[in-house]
Structure formats: C-alpha cells, structure tokens
Amino acid sequence: MENPTSFATVTTEARTLALGIEAALGLEWFPVERVSVGGHAGLRVSQAWVRNTTSAVGLTTQVQNQHQTTVATLQSGLEVRFYF
C-alpha cells in the first residue's frame, strides 16, 4: 500500500520602503583679487524597511521585519581658482 504525500502551498511576500535625503554645502572665499579658494561636502542619510511574510495553508505565518539606516558622504572637494 502506498503512503499518500501531501504538499503545502507556500506563499512568500516581500515589501520594501526606502526613504533618503541628501544635503550639500559649498563655500568660496576670495583671499586676494583674482584668486578664490573653495570647497564642498555633502551627506546622505537613508532608511529602508523590509517586511517578509511567509505563509502556508494550515501552518503558522512567519513575519520578519528588517530596518536599515545608512549614513554616507557625498563627493567632497577643495579647489583653488585663478581669474585672468
């Protein structure tokens, strides 16, 4: 006699939300006529939320929440300009 085998249908769903902001600041100074010194720098902050839901018919639903915060610098630079 054969043993019947049953399979459960498993459903997985992932939802992601990401938000971020960037800010930059630059300055230029003229120490003498026709010469300037300047610089710029920036910062990026972002957050992401991920929700994974796994469920199967007749079994317990599993929910996994993740949160990530990222802080990074943008391109920064210094410059000297000569005006002719």
Residue numbers of the domain that contains 38:
21-82
Q: Is residue 30 part of a domain?
A: yes
59 assigned to some structural domain = yes
Whether the predicted pLDDT of 10 surpasses 70: yes
Q: What percent of the chain has pLDDT over 90?
A: 73
pLDDT at residue 59, rounded to an integer: 78
Please state the pTM of the whole predicted model: 0.59
Helix (H), strand (E), coil (C) string for 13-79: EEEEEEEEEEEEEEEEEEEECCEEEEEEEEEEEEEEEEEEEEEECCCCCEEEEEEEEEEEECCCEEE
Answer whether residue 5 is part of any domain: no
**12 domain residue, yes or no:** no
Q: How many residues does the chain have?
A: 84
Tell whether the model's pLDDT for residue 84 goes beyond 70.
yes
